[in-house]
């Protein structure tokens, strides 16, 4: 059994975790920054980077003490090396390099997207390759065929905003607090999902890519018109997003023989979104899996686990591994115009 320390700071969550290659999660700690970014309605990179520096050492001490381990007992140090906000990415990566150097243990520079992609395997040893992963968060909106550790085929990405980003922008337009997803979901429960006509960008198009910018503009017009109840706009917006997610994922499922659809990312916390995707998987004759909510959103256990999977296969990195703002999981994927908020 290898013990891996995982570190994450690529967006607005600072996290550390100790995970075993036997899937034991010994300890995990996370500090969010929603309060710090709330006045700005979105993540401010400089505020995020400074907050990571302030909190990460404490989180590392906390997970070691909770697990009753010393840093000398760690077999490998895994840190997110991208993609993400570069000032933030550097915090965990440099901390990881320092610890690797001090302990003489190997560094594993983890792609944050690989962390999400492999996270369902941490809690489900039975999950077979290949599976189709819909990764829907504030920074990512991708469909990935996960073939095995280190081999990913990107079937789709967003040509503009990520789905969570669309939730956040729509919430801002409706005067709701950041992060917008949970606020929209709550308000939508009192609204009519068919009250406001909104577009389904790219629905029915030949490639399973996503687009949400036009939806945001339509919400802006609906809110400015004064003709609709905010709850109806929220419910109609949520319905439009989930219709797009279902339509695009259905097309991707037709292009893979993956037997399981896995959904991860903050938007997977939305009960309506989860239910609609589960229905789709059943209709398409596939299994459905969603990791527990805390593992779906950004965390360090998934980084430690991706590190453990790589470590066991001898995939370690030199101490000059670069921090990368952009780092596609599938280098062969064709470039999509405007794509890649973070990837």
Q: Using CB under 6 A as the criterion, which residues of the chain lie in contact with ligand KG4 when the complex forms?
A: 11, 137-139, 164-165, 167-168, 179-182, 185, 265-267, 269-270, 297-298
How far is residue 153's CA from residue 317's CA, in Å, rounded to a whole number? 22
Closer to ligand KG4 by CB, 100 or 231: give it.
231
Interatomic CA distance for residues 62 and 317, integer angstroms: 26
CB of 137 to Zn ion, least distance (A): 5
Whether the Cβ atoms of residue 266 and residue 30 lie closer than 8 Å to each other: no
Q: In the complex with Zn ion, which residue's Cβ is closer, 12 or 298?
A: 298
Cα separations in angstroms, 290 against 54, 68, 175, 300: 32, 30, 30, 18
The item of ligand KG4, Zn ion, none sharing an interface with residue 340, based on CB under 5 to 8 Å by kind, is: none
* Contact region with Zn ion (CB under 5 A), list: 67-75, 96-104, 132-140, 255-263: 132-140
Complex with ligand KG4: residue 88 or 130, whichever CB lies closer: 88
Stretch that binds Zn ion, among 66-74, 102-110, 130-138, 230-238 (CB under 5 A): 130-138
User: Half-sphere exposure of residue 226, counting CA atoms within 13 Å on the CB side?
Assistant: 0
Edge-first strand order for the sheet with 151-156 is 151-156, 141-148, 131-136, 260-264, 287-289
Q: How far is the CB of 307 from ligand KG4 (least distance, A)?
A: 18
Partner whose footprint covers residue 150, from ligand KG4, Zn ion, none (CB < 5 to 8 Å by kind): none
Q: Binding residue for Zn ion (CB under 5 A) from 145, 298, 309, 317?
A: 298
Residue 48 CB, nearest approach to ligand KG4 (Å): 12
Q: How far apart, in whole angstroms, are the C-alpha atoms of residue 72 and residue 254?
A: 48
267 binds, among Zn ion, ligand KG4, none (CB under 5 to 8 A by kind): ligand KG4
DSSP string, 199-240: --TTTT-SS--B--HHHHHHHHHHHHH--S-HHHHHHHHHHH
* CB nearer Zn ion, residue 137 or residue 236: 137
Q: How far is the CB of 195 from Zn ion (least distance, A)?
A: 32
How many residues at the interface with Zn ion, by CB under 5 A? 2
How many degrees, rounded to 5, is the angle at CA 41 between CA 214 and CA 170?
30
Beta pairing partners, 77 = 5, 107
Strand 260-264 versus strand 131-136 pairing type: parallel
From the list 38-46, 137-145, 161-169, 270-278, the region that binds Zn ion by CB under 5 A is 137-145
Contact 54, 38 (CB under 8 A): no
Q: Is 145 in the site for Zn ion (CB under 5 A)?
A: no
Residues that bind Zn ion (CB under 5 A): 137, 298
């Amino acid at each position: 059994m290898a013990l891996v320390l995982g570190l994450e700071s690529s967006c607005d969550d600072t996290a550390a975790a100790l995970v075993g290659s036997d899937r034991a999660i010994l300890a995990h700690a996370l500090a969010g920054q929603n309060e710090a970014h709330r006045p700005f309605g979105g993540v401010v990179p400089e505020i995020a980077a400074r907050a990571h520096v302030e909190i990460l050492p404490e989180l590392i001490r906390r997970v070691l003490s909770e697990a009753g381990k010393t840093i000398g007992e760690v077999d490998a140090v895994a840190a997110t090396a991208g993609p993400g906000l570069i000032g933030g990415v550097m915090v965990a990566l440099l901390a990881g390099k320092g610890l690797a150097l001090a302990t003489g243990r190997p560094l594993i520079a983890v792609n944050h997207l690989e962390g999400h992609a492999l996270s369902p395997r941490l809690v489900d040893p039975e999950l077979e390759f290949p599976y189709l992963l819909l990764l829907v968060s504030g920074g990512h909106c991708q469909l990935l065929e996960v073939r095995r550790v280190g081999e990913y085929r990107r079937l789709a990405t967003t040509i503009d905003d990520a789905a969570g980003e669309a939730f956040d922008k729509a919430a801002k337009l409706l005067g709701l607090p950041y992060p917008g997803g949970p606020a929209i979901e709550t308000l939508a429960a009192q609204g009519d999902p068919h009250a406001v006509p909104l577009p389904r960008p790219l629905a029915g198009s030949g490639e399973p890519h996503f687009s949400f910018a036009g939806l945001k503009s339509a919400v802006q017009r609906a809110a400015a018109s004064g003709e609709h109840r905010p709850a109806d706009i929220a419910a109609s917006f949520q319905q439009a997003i989930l219709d797009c997610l279902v339509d695009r994922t259905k097309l991707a499922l037709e292009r893979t023989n993956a037997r399981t659809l896995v959904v991860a990312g903050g938007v997977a916390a939305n009960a309506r979104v989860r239910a609609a995707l589960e229905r789709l998987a059943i209709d398409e004759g596939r299994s459905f899996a969603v990791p527990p909510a805390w593992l779906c959103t950004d965390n360090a256990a998934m980084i430690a686990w991706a590190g453990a999977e790589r470590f066991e296969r001898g995939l370690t990195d030199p101490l000059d591994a670069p921090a990368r703002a952009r780092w596609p999981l599938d280098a062969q994927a064709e470039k999509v115009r405007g794509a890649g908020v973070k990837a």
